[in-house]
Structure 1
Amino acid sequence: MRIGLITEGGYPYVSGDARLWCDRLVRGLEQHEFDIYALSRTERQEDEGWVPLPAQVSRVRTAPMWAAEDDGAGYGRRARRRFAEHYGELAAVLCAGGLAEAPEDGSALEADRFGNALYGLAELARDEGGLVGALRSEAAVRALERACRSRGALRAAREARVPDLLTVAAQLEHALRPLSLDWYEDDGLGAADLCHATSGGPAALSGLLAHHFCDVPLLLTEYGVRLRTHYLAAPDASPAVRALLATFHGRLTAEAYSRAALITPGNGHARRWQERCGADRAKLRTVYPGMDASRFADVGESTDCADPDSLVWVGRVEPTKDLVSLLHAFAEVRKEETKARLRIVGTPAGSEGAAYLGHCKALAAQLFPDEAEGPHTVGDNPVSFEEIGDPELLSLADAYASGAVTVLSSVVEGFPIGLVEAMLCGRATVSTDVGAVVEVIGGTGLVVPPRNPRALAEACVALLRDPERRERLGAAARARALELFTVEQNVAAFHGIYLEIVSRTPVRRVVLDDSGDPLPFAVPAEAHVPGRWTERPHGLVARGGPARPQGAPVRATTIPATGGAR
């Protein structure tokens, strides 16, 4: 079958989020044909290029989310009236507030109004050209203002000032950029048998439009719930801005959940969020991320330990990892186990991570003053800060093999990839109870409350003193990881889901002859088998929407995949 894989800030870009997961999925399903539709987040991401692409990727179409170019489409009176109607309706729904989380909340009508307004804007963009200029216009701001001042609007919306309205209008223009793309024709996403959006937000919106215009079924995968990110974003924004944008993203998420054929959360934590945000439980299929177990096979199958007195932390250095609590916990561990050492292996995440790393090094020197060479350096200090590639840690597997117990001290975590890596290495683990940790561990490690150094220390001491228990937990952890979290199980799950969706989707393409009548058997079954089995007869056209009268308003590129980096 032909899969339209829609990504945002991800595959096939070298620095893309979830790049490895998508690449493994595409390579693992070589019996299918993939078209990649990629929304880039930054200009730098585009400049860095793509990863090498396998032969089953037929083409790649890209468009930037970081910039939008007005195509200069001049709307006539009728088009301006259509825009005012649909955008005004969208603004009215946002100012009414509420989320379509459950049928009993009485918001089904509001959900229909939101969907009608959204698709009305998309149809306007398809018929008349892009929406960039219209969404940035004074008319859009005035429509928001009228909705905010209308009777029955949210209190926070009624209190919106001009700067708030300008901010909301700009954010809506950014979020609605996929409406202006030319991806939704028969030679684009309309040619796919299935659209697979790898995240919520803009990627899911593109899948919604393919479903609306071409009846292509939508599969939505979320390893991190995008709506939760929006709720936590912009804490310094005014109440009006937060309320209006939260309603918009909530409505868009509910619409995607409603229209998707199936939804695949990456863990139970994400699944519970999706259910609270309106997802139908019958549509949910939990599919865990797939890890390359072969990288850790040598360490996992060996019972040797480089240092039975060492604790190891591996990951990106940033405040949410709460290394401060880990250092305080290790100070308690040293009181009980004087030979214990702590190895912190990771690289800082941006400037904030670099500053946090400096703070942690200073704290380590302060907590162990008699063993440090200076106030801000770590020499013989029992805490070492290292990176992958150091002489003693040439690989990620070597990092986990360097200690007896792997520790995770995060206060915020989605799916704990580092924890799964430690499990594949057969290491006993001590983790904080955040995100999907308990679900991943499944009883094969110790779990303590977050921000509790004393509990963390007690769990670490218990495992350092009991090598037999460590060995039992490590073996059980490796067996669990091999059963649930490998690339093979991930690919097999999605292969089955693809077949399930397509098997219950009616044939959509109707081929017409020269007189405009349907042509029977024009798309035989062989057309769905990988390979060039059929060629469309000359002069026949597939039934679809009208051709765009003007060029794509958002700068987009279509580049045939050549199997290599751009």
Structure 2
Amino acid sequence: MRIALVSEGTYPYAMGGVSVWCEQLIRGIPEYRWEVVALTVDGSERPVFVPPDNLDRVRPIPLWGGKPAGARPARTGYRPGPAFTESYEVFLRALITPVESTNSVQGNVSRSLFLLALRGLFEYAADGGDLSAALVSNDALTMTLDAWRELRVEENGPVPTVADAIQAAWLIEHMLRPLSAPPVRADVVHSSMNGLSTLVGMAAKWAHGTPLVMSEHGIYLRERYIAYLAEDASHAVRVLALSFFRSLAGAAYLITDVLAPHSAYNRRWQLHNGADPDRMWTMYNGVEPAEFPAATSEPEVPTISFMGRIDPLKDLHTLIRAFAVVRKEMPEARLRIFGGTPAVNRIYHESCEQLIAELGLTGAAVLEGRVANAVDAYHAGSLVALTSISEGFPYTVVEAMACGRPTVCTNVGGVAEAVGDTGFVVAPRDHVAVAEACLKLLRDDELRLRLGYAARARVLEHFTLSQSLQMYRNVYEGLVTPLPAPEPAAPLPGASHLPVLRPAYPGLRHSRVYGSRR
């Protein structure tokens, strides 16, 4: 079996939960041969993981450098011709037409048209057309402005300028570069997330009929919307960019053979955005319990520990504000924040340090940087906190639970499914609720130790790495040789309101109008 695993901004060039998952998957199934197709910034990235023996190749596709590899030199006045413009017209109609409901008939039609348009753009590039030049050509810019005026005629917002059209075209050209890359050859393509990564799988399906698996750790579309809250872009550019992400996510749900959400929470989001329940199989992340031994002691002073990358999505400002409340009640308490800071998040790192100083927490709350062994970070705390505003099924929570530490977390993604009744789950961005939960645990030794013991037991029963890897083996082999339908899984204890649904899926090497050529 040869698996092509597609990443975007993660493995093998950056640390984080998705990268850990990629590494576990490759090393954990050594009988398969693997190739990683990595969507990168400009190709200058250097791996931070030692390649496993069964990883044959890492193939980067830079999205934001100069012209894509193999592209012709830039040409002034490039005219792409009808082979491009016919597909691009459908692309723009799907992109610009307002959609009232993602689950409406109109929404389904829009997703299908967008997928057909993507295939047309792929075939234009495969037949020798310069897709990058076509997407930023005068013809494409004129089509964009005309489509907006025609399809959004009743909208009260500002009409895009030529500058807006140029900026949007520049963004779309970079994001569609995977369609111009040589299609990957493998038995299965596995996208580690929705969005741009799925373009690699689409190209392989259209070229070779390769089945596509898609995991979704967090909700890609939701995170794009959150990111664009801070973008300095015009109304029209925001509409076009976010419509692109929405349309791409929906198109990926249509073409994917097996969709593997990492929580029931993710599954509900995907269903809302047009995913087919008959092709979905909820698959939780797992950890190797031996690598996360239970702590045998506690720190000398009450300590809240955080482990993860320094990133706005982790909302460390809420954690720091919560600690300020804790500190007033327990002056001896400490907050230890472990984790590296990606280069793009240096400003956010500085804002965290500034907030610590403003709240008078210097010396009590410390950003300690990357730690060699995550276990040390979990053992360093009396409890472990996670105050994210977006998560999938979080490794840090499961790892902390395996170490026998109770957790205080925000109710996003699959966090509540992981924690169950072994910790406290509160509303996101509510620093007072976070503080109250932390104080309850820090003041009650018996409760803290009992929940820590229950947390490790929950991991051993439900979230081990061996369970997770076997599920992926079943999916891969089911796509090549159909397997009997699995029995539905029972809901997890402590999360009865969040049903774990694993519907049967057929051996999905089927042909679709917008899928395989077979």
Give TM-score scaled by structure 2 length.
0.82
SS where residue 128 of structure 1 aligns? coil
- Cα pair 2:217 2:391 within 8 Å, conserved: no
Counterparts of 2:318 and 2:17, CA distance in 1: 28
Counterparts of 1:157 and 1:386, CA distance in 2: 43
Give the Å deviation of 1:445.
Answer: 0.6
Partner of 1:155: 155
Partner of 1:57: 55
Counterparts of 1:172 and 1:193, CA distance in 2: 29
1:264 aligns with 2:260: yes
Q: Which amino acid aligns with 1:98?
A: V
Change in Cα spacing, 1:451 to 1:15, as seen in structure 2 (3 Å) is: closer
Q: Which moved more, 1:15-24 or 1:135-144?
A: 15-24
Residues 127-526 of structure 1 aligned to structure 2 (within 5 Å): 127-150=127-150, 155=155, 159-183=159-183, 188-189=184-185, 192-235=186-229, 236-297=232-293, 300=294, 302-307=295-300, 309-318=302-311, 320-334=313-327, 336-337=329-330, 339-348=332-341, 350-365=345-360, 377-378=362-363, 383-385=364-366, 387=368, 395-504=373-482
Change in Cα spacing, 1:345 to 1:123, as seen in structure 2 (3 Å) is: closer
Change in Cα spacing, 1:232 to 1:318, as seen in structure 2 (3 Å) is: closer
Give the Å deviation of 1:221.
Answer: 1.1
Q: Which has the larger radius of gyration?
A: 1
- Cα pair 1:308 1:403 within 8 Å, conserved: no
Q: Which amino acid aligns with 2:382?
A: A
Change in Cα spacing, 1:16 to 1:312, as seen in structure 2 (3 Å) is: closer
Partner of 2:111: 111
- Cα-to-partner distance string for 1:405-443 (whole Å, 9 max, x where unaligned): 223344444443332222111012222333332121111
Change in Cα spacing, 1:71 to 1:325, as seen in structure 2 (3 Å) is: closer
- Structure 2 unaligned blocks of 5 or more: 484-515
Q: Which amino acid aligns with 1:385?
A: V
- Cα-to-partner distance string for 1:522-553 (whole Å, 9 max, x where unaligned): xxxxxxxxxxxxxxxxxxxxxx99xxxxxxxx
Tell me how large the CA RMSD over aligned residues is: 3.2
SS where residue 228 of structure 2 aligns? coil
- Cα-to-partner distance string for 1:311-337 (whole Å, 9 max, x where unaligned): 333334455545554455445445554
Counterparts of 2:167 and 2:237, CA distance in 1: 7
- Cα pair 1:330 1:457 within 8 Å, conserved: yes
Change in Cα spacing, 1:354 to 1:260, as seen in structure 2 (3 Å) is: closer
Give the Å deviation of 1:170.
Answer: 1.2
Identity %: 37
Give the Å deviation of 1:150.
Answer: 2.2
Change in Cα spacing, 1:501 to 1:92, as seen in structure 2 (3 Å) is: same
SS where residue 147 of structure 1 aligns? helix
Give the Å deviation of 1:204.
Answer: 0.3
Change in Cα spacing, 1:488 to 1:89, as seen in structure 2 (3 Å) is: same
SS where residue 290 of structure 1 aligns? coil
Counterparts of 2:101 and 2:339, CA distance in 1: 41
Change in Cα spacing, 1:120 to 1:397, as seen in structure 2 (3 Å) is: closer
SS where residue 18 of structure 1 aligns? helix
**What is the aligned residue count?**
478
1:89 aligns with 2:90: yes
Higher relative contact order (CA 8 A, sep 6+): 1
SS where residue 255 of structure 1 aligns? helix
Change in Cα spacing, 1:137 to 1:429, as seen in structure 2 (3 Å) is: same
Change in Cα spacing, 1:155 to 1:292, as seen in structure 2 (3 Å) is: same
Change in Cα spacing, 1:473 to 1:212, as seen in structure 2 (3 Å) is: same
- Cα pair 1:97 1:244 within 8 Å, conserved: no
Counterparts of 1:156 and 1:71, CA distance in 2: 41
SS where residue 233 of structure 1 aligns? helix
Q: Which amino acid aligns with 1:96?
A: T
- Cα-to-partner distance string for 1:487-506 (whole Å, 9 max, x where unaligned): 3222111111112222249x
- Cα pair 2:99 2:106 within 8 Å, conserved: no
- Cα pair 1:426 1:474 within 8 Å, conserved: yes
SS where residue 461 of structure 1 aligns? helix
- Structure 1 unaligned blocks of 5 or more: 368-376, 506-543, 546-566
Counterparts of 2:365 and 2:144, CA distance in 1: 55
- Cα pair 1:99 1:247 within 8 Å, conserved: no
SS where residue 82 of structure 2 aligns? helix
Give the Å deviation of 1:35.
Answer: 2.8
Counterparts of 1:117 and 1:322, CA distance in 2: 38
Change in Cα spacing, 1:71 to 1:472, as seen in structure 2 (3 Å) is: same
Counterparts of 1:29 and 1:99, CA distance in 2: 44
- Cα-to-partner distance string for 1:356-384 (whole Å, 9 max, x where unaligned): 2322331353x6xxxxxxxxx53xxxx24
Counterparts of 1:90 and 1:403, CA distance in 2: 51
Change in Cα spacing, 1:359 to 1:271, as seen in structure 2 (3 Å) is: same
SS where residue 49 of structure 2 aligns? coil
Give TM-score scaled by structure 1 length.
0.76
Counterparts of 1:306 and 1:20, CA distance in 2: 27
